[in-house]
Amino acid sequence: MHYGAIACVGCKGFFRRALMKADQLECQAHGNCPISVDQRTSCRSCRFQKCLYAGMKPEGTFLLHQKNNIRNINKLFI
């Protein structure tokens, strides 16, 4: 489970990176690109949309970062 959805590690990393550039992602085929294991790198915009459709939540990346910060702070004071 990654960011609220069942996803592979590759899609987890892609989703995290794509969030930083989400406003720059644009599909040349008007959002109709087939995204599969073999063709997942052909269109970043459609792959990002498929991640969202699968249930990946952008706020999950922030929560994970925040959780790690809390752990690090706890280590300092314990």
- Average pLDDT, stretch 68-74? 50
Taking the domains of the chain in order of start, what are their residue ranges?
Answer: 9-77
Residue 73 scores a pLDDT above 50: no
Whole-angstrom CA distances from 52 to 11, 15, 28 are: 11, 9, 19
Query: Residue type for 71, please?
Result: R
- What's the pTM value of the predicted model, to 2 decimals? 0.70
Return the pLDDT at 69. 52
Indicate the DSSP class of residue 5.
B
Give the model's confidence band at 71: pLDDT under 50 very low, under 70 low, under 90 confident, else very high. Answer: low
9-77 to CATH, choices 3.40.50.150, 2.60.40.420, 3.40.640.10, 3.30.50.10: 3.30.50.10
Give the model's confidence band at 70: pLDDT under 50 very low, under 70 low, under 90 confident, else very high. Answer: very low
DSSP SS3 for 61? helix
Whole-angstrom CA distances from 19 to 22, 46, 55, 75 are: 5, 13, 14, 29
**pLDDT 10s digits, 37-64:** 877 778 899 999 998 999 988 876 664 5
Q: Report the half-sphere exposure of 74 (CA within 13 A, side-chain side).
A: 6
